[in-house]
Structure 1
Amino acid sequence: MTFKWNTDGMDRGVSSQELPDLVCLSHLRWNFVFQRPQHLLSRFARERRVFFFEEPLYGSQEPQLHVTHSPEGVWVAVPHLPEGLDEQRLMAMQQLLLDELLTRHAVKHYVSWYYTPMAMGFSRHLEPLTVVYDCMDELSAFRGAPPALLHREAELLMRADVVFTGGQSLYEAKRDRHPNVHAFPSSVDVPHFATARGNVQEPADQASIPHPRLGFFGVVDERMDLELLEAVADARPDWQLVIIGPVVKIDPASLPRRPNLHFLGGKHYKELPTYLAGWDVALLPFARNESTRFISPTKTPEYLAAGKPVVSTSIRDVVRPYGELGLVRIADTPEDFVRACEAALAEEHAAWLPRVDTHLATMSWDNTWSRMKALLDGATQQRHEEATLRVEALREQTT
């Protein structure tokens, strides 16, 4: 097997560290949507080396690993593999590329951090100091989930030293499957999104859209209730619905087309506040199905940090706590959703924003990362102590 390397940045940022490296195995692309993995791992990269090993891209004549150094300080490794591989060959090639990555960068003492249980198929041979499973979604409920995912997750839960979940509902689903599970709902970079409350320059592709504007940003996939979106657009043709985000796993032709529906495509994380600033209401028009049963939308506190009233369908981790605290309006039928949007448009912000800010003051990605790091350090220390005890017991048996 031949390995080809893109060595952009190969000489930058590599140095010996007292802290163990972090090797992340992810189903998400680093450069796709800036969300939970990027927030957390960027912070880890400030204190240690972080390697982000993505799922393969296909079409290469021979196996290659493209390794780049991101602006956030993370080493991003993307396998490029031939098409048509059977499962055994696919796992073998990924294992070889992963091993080559660790060898090239002299990764010896490290933490394995999983976002996808499917990576167990090519990484179970690793011997990390600690294994972390950051379960941010119930991937088995998503469209196109591999049949082996549940089996691989059971294997990962057996190996993991600590498990984090992306929300309270997901925590309740996993807490009986591992002795060390902790809920970490989506957090928020308040200062970043609060810039939407000030005077910002209107993005060119939104500037000509009339008001009132009701907006959504995020991935547009099977989790979005397209029928609800269409019904709202039809019920109030004077409202403009702005949808920002990449379309994945669904046919773009299935998107409803109306004069007041505007699909603007994906935007960079740093641009989002400039779009939010021009909205009158922010939307969470999620379908209620298996794929949304355990989601904890990061955009909920991001919308609120921007100072925008929010209307959502009854997603459990939005209802608790945001709906119960009166910070987000909850509605499911088109008629109720329209009425909730009307109320949001008429809302007096002066009385509502202080309550929003009080709640958001308890949240930050810095705080989430710090708490996760403490649990990671504790798990690493416990594993070290257990290994020491085993060595001492073995020594006593042989003397």
Structure 2
Amino acid sequence: MNLAEQPGQFAQVSGLSPVETPSQARPTLVCLSHLRWGFVYQRPQHVMSRLAKDYDVIFFEEPVVGGGEPSWLETSSPSAGIQVVVPHLPEGLSEQAMIEAQRRLLDERLAEVLQGDLLLWYFTPMSLTFTDHLQARVTVFDCMDELSAFKGAPARLVDMERLLMDKADVVFTGGFSLWEVKQHQHGNAHPVPSSVDIGHFAQARNALADPADQAPIARPRLGFFGVIDERFDIELVDRVAAQRPDWQIVLVGPVVKIDPQTLPRRPNIHYLGGRQYAELPAYLSGWDVALMPFALNESTRFISPTKTPEYLAGGCPVVSTPIRDVVNGYGQSGAVFIADTADAFVSAIEGALRLKGTPDFLKRADAALEGMSWDNTCRFMKEQIECLR
């Protein structure tokens, strides 16, 4: 375990050293996240809400910069055992001053609440800049994606990830293709693809009432929910819509990191914006085919989309571009269809339109989902942590 020396007063509230017996008090798990809790309900929220049954979770977000007030922490508790903490920093601070402010705010919060072991869980290596002094019983790097390939990634991210790999006791990856790379960088790396809350999305197999903004849209409907960003193949969606103007393409999700003006605008493409996690089954219930029109670029090279099992749990056939983890995990399932061009996408959709609700398709979808659950995924993650404690 790579444990840094603790400075000054904070050493008095640090995690226990490796030779001491773990405390009987509930551990405090500090989750360092580049994704905000209230943005899109995905892997961080699923994992942390389950780990909060055994650990006190501090979900520490990236700072909000603005105003002239002194640095302060905004806190909220979206569910039991979880405290979401957002640092607010004044404008005009240098990069180093921002790092020092976040370090001080986190140290002060830990001095108030830490009683048992300190656990660190990193979703982003950039948080290491203000946490490298912390002494943790266990340090986790949950490498969901190859963040360095994303648009706007910090120039230092690759170097910071290398440092985090040295510090981490265990590394989880968001899919198998990413694990194939990271296993050569860390001796205790595990592929942990994002899972699915089957009960939540299985609601869509029933005829749920259409949301008000979807109800007026004609059929057949081809749907997508998720973030619309540089991973989204805008041209593919435009070409499919142009070839089949009778098909209605429903896109549910926020648009980020791309100019909304670049999105295709056609009468049969409908942008409904972001929706809450609880609302997604109602939208999915009203679709005939679910789409995963991901671009094939550096930002999608290692992704393992969560929405694949979510669509299947909702009883909806899926058409996807040839994302490697989708092809390897679902390509032979008979429930997910792979297409690499607009013409192939149209052809695959035509075949998939005949499948929704059929007993054979539902049997294939259920077979593809066998054994999958966020509870099982988080149980495995917790076992790795407890082995190291």
Q: TM-score when scaled to structure 1?
A: 0.89
Structure 1 unaligned regions, length at least 5: 1-15, 381-399
Deviates more, 1:78-87 or 1:322-331: 78-87
Deviation at 1:293, TM superposition (A): 0.3
Deviation at 1:333, TM superposition (A): 0.8
Q: How does 1:39-118 map to 2 (within 5 A)?
A: 39-61=46-68, 62-106=70-114, 109-118=117-126
Separation in 1 of the partners of 2:323 and 2:207? 32
Select 1:363's aligned residue among 358, 366, 372: 372
Asked if the contact 1:157–1:178 (Cα under 8 Å) also holds between the matched residues in 2, the reply is yes
- Label 1:362 to 1:108 Cα distance change in 2 as closer, same or farther (>3 A): closer
What does residue 27 of structure 2 align with?
A: 20
Separation in 1 of the partners of 2:134 and 2:220? 54
What does residue 302 of structure 1 align with?
A: 310
Q: Aligned partner of 1:171: which letter?
A: W
Separation in 2 of the partners of 1:84 and 1:17? 44
Separation in 1 of the partners of 2:334 and 2:186? 34
Instruction: Give the secondary structure class of the aligned counterpart of 1:207.
Output: coil
Separation in 2 of the partners of 1:136 and 1:85? 30
Deviation at 1:17, TM superposition (A): 6.5
Separation in 2 of the partners of 1:49 and 1:73? 5
Matched-pair identity in % = 58
Matched, 1:228 2:236: yes
Instruction: Give the secondary structure class of the aligned counterpart of 2:241.
Output: helix
Instruction: Give the secondary structure class of the aligned counterpart of 1:156.
Output: helix
What does residue 212 of structure 2 align with?
A: 204
Matched, 1:175 2:221: no
Separation in 1 of the partners of 2:37 and 2:249? 28
Deviation at 1:53, TM superposition (A): 0.2
Structure 2 unaligned regions, length at least 5: 1-22
Deviation at 1:108, TM superposition (A): 5.3
Asked if the contact 1:228–1:333 (Cα under 8 Å) also holds between the matched residues in 2, the reply is yes
What does residue 154 of structure 1 align with?
A: 162
Separation in 2 of the partners of 1:160 and 1:252? 38
What does residue 35 of structure 1 align with?
A: 42
Separation in 1 of the partners of 2:92 and 2:181? 35
Matched, 1:315 2:317: no
Asked if the contact 1:102–1:108 (Cα under 8 Å) also holds between the matched residues in 2, the reply is no
Matched, 1:137 2:145: yes
Q: Deviations over 1:364-395 (max 9, x none)?
A: 00000001100111122xxxxxxxxxxxxxxx
Separation in 2 of the partners of 1:32 and 1:250? 17
Deviation at 1:361, TM superposition (A): 2.3
What does residue 354 of structure 2 align with?
A: 346
Give the root-mean-square deviation of aligned CA atoms.
Answer: 1.3
Asked if the contact 2:26–2:116 (Cα under 8 Å) also holds between the matched residues in 1, the reply is no
Matched, 1:374 2:383: yes
Separation in 2 of the partners of 1:300 and 1:84? 43
Q: Aligned partner of 2:374: which letter?
A: W
- Label 1:106 to 1:21 Cα distance change in 2 as closer, same or farther (>3 A): closer
Asked if the contact 2:289–2:352 (Cα under 8 Å) also holds between the matched residues in 1, the reply is yes
Instruction: Give the secondary structure class of the aligned counterpart of 1:176.
Output: coil
Q: Which has the higher contact order (CA 8 A, sep 6+)?
A: 2
Greater per-residue helix proportion: 1
Q: Deviations over 1:263-322 (max 9, x none)?
A: 000000010000000000000000000000010000000000000010000000110110
Separation in 2 of the partners of 1:248 and 1:107? 39
Asked if the contact 1:17–1:48 (Cα under 8 Å) also holds between the matched residues in 2, the reply is no
Select 2:259's aligned residue among 251, 263, 273: 251
What does residue 201 of structure 2 align with?
A: 193
Instruction: Give the secondary structure class of the aligned counterpart of 1:206.
Output: coil
Deviation at 1:106, TM superposition (A): 3.4
Separation in 2 of the partners of 1:334 and 1:359? 26
Q: Deviations over 1:199-226 (max 9, x none)?
A: 3111000000000000000001000000
Q: Aligned partner of 1:254: which letter?
A: T
Instruction: Give the secondary structure class of the aligned counterpart of 2:299.
Output: helix
Q: TM-score when scaled to structure 2?
A: 0.92
Instruction: Give the secondary structure class of the aligned counterpart of 1:67.
Output: strand
Instruction: Give the secondary structure class of the aligned counterpart of 2:330.
Output: helix
Separation in 2 of the partners of 1:28 and 1:372? 20
Matched, 1:269 2:269: no
Q: Aligned partner of 2:57: which letter?
A: V
Instruction: Give the secondary structure class of the aligned counterpart of 2:184.
Output: helix
- Label 1:72 to 1:232 Cα distance change in 2 as closer, same or farther (>3 A): farther
What does residue 342 of structure 2 align with?
A: 334
Q: Aligned partner of 2:372: which letter?
A: M
Deviation at 1:85, TM superposition (A): 2.7
Separation in 2 of the partners of 1:352 and 1:17? 49
Separation in 2 of the partners of 1:131 and 1:326? 40
Q: Deviations over 1:63-105 (max 9, x none)?
A: 1210111135410000111234322111111111111221232
